[in-house]
Amino acid sequence: MTTDSMRDDLCGCGSGKPYRHCCGAVIPIVAAAPVAARTCGGCTACCDGWLTANVLGHDMSPGTACHFRGEGGCTIYEHRPHDPCRGFTCGWLVKGNPFPESFRPDRLGVIVIIKPWRDRFAYVLVQAGRAPDAKLLEWMRAHSTETGRPFLFQVDGRQRGYGSEEFQKEILEKAMRGEPFLPGLNPGGGGPFKLMPLDPPVAEAASATRVPDVAAALREDDGV
């Protein structure tokens, strides 16, 4: 027990300073500033016709944007339906995700979508103006190796995958059977990806997971 008078004694560490100004100094605890949640901002990539969906009876498909997409964004945003709109999870918007600001779909030209795979989740890179380039794929491979999360992407209209041998084997078997590799993915490969809600447990798991080492590396080089 340390009394007020003892706090004026020399510190036992040998510094020559009073205890209260050395090892006994009181350091105020300041709460960390909350990290602002990301918002879509001016990005409308998921509504621009890169994905397929039916929104309140109106079809969206490649070359045909969502019927409710206006010049300033979604015209029914506050009243948009859960399926497919509210339930859709853009990887860049997920809380705690490791993706930098430059991964916002309208800037990257690629939409990163989260999908469940077995007891974890996988990413799908959907072209939204351009194909994933070498730098993006290199980043995704490093992230996949670090986290064990596989990902799918397209090259010249053909579906490709990166991940464990287990993942590679599974998507090969599904390809041979003509099945979708992941929910919502066109089984033929090269076709549009369907805009679908993400199951709450998967969305919560994605929001709660962060890879500090990858995130730190991105802050050093934030330009993909």
Q: Which pLDDT tens digit goes with each residue over 113-157?
A: 988 888 888 999 999 999 999 999 999 999 999 999 999 998 777
Split into its structural domains, the chain has a count of: 2
DSSP 8-state assignment for residue 48: T
The answer to whether the bond into 84 is cis (omega within 30° of 0) is yes
Same domain for 95 and 82: yes
Q: What tokens were used for 156?
A: 């010249």
Q: Which amino acid is at 61?
A: S
Same domain for 114 and 179: yes
Same domain for 25 and 38: no
Same domain for 95 and 43: yes
Same domain for 25 and 36: no
Same domain for 47 and 15: no
| Whether the predicted pLDDT of 54 surpasses 60 | yes
* DSSP string for 115-135: EEETTEEEEEEEESSS---HH
pLDDT confidence band for 92 (50 / 70 / 90): very high
Q: What is the mean pLDDT of the segment spanning 31-54? A: 81
pLDDT confidence band for 193 (50 / 70 / 90): low
Three-state SS at 5: coil
Please, which residues have CB within 8 angstroms of residue 186's CB and are 6 or more apart in sequence?
180, 192, 193, 194
Distance CA 145, CA 150 (A): 8
Same domain for 4 and 46: no
Q: Please choose, from the candidates 12, 198, 209, the residue with its C-alpha nearest in 3D space to the C-alpha of residue 115.
A: 198
pLDDT confidence band for 11 (50 / 70 / 90): confident
Contact criterion met (CB below 8 Å) for 55 and 64: no
| Whether the predicted pLDDT of 21 surpasses 80 | no
Sheet of 158-162, strands arranged across: 110-117, 120-127, 151-155, 158-162
* Alpha-helical regions (H) of 90-152: 105-108, 134-147
Contact criterion met (CB below 8 Å) for 91 and 97: yes
Same domain for 88 and 24: no
Same domain for 46 and 24: no
Same domain for 174 and 74: yes
Say what the pTM is: 0.69
Full residue range of the structural domain in which residue 76 is found: 32-220
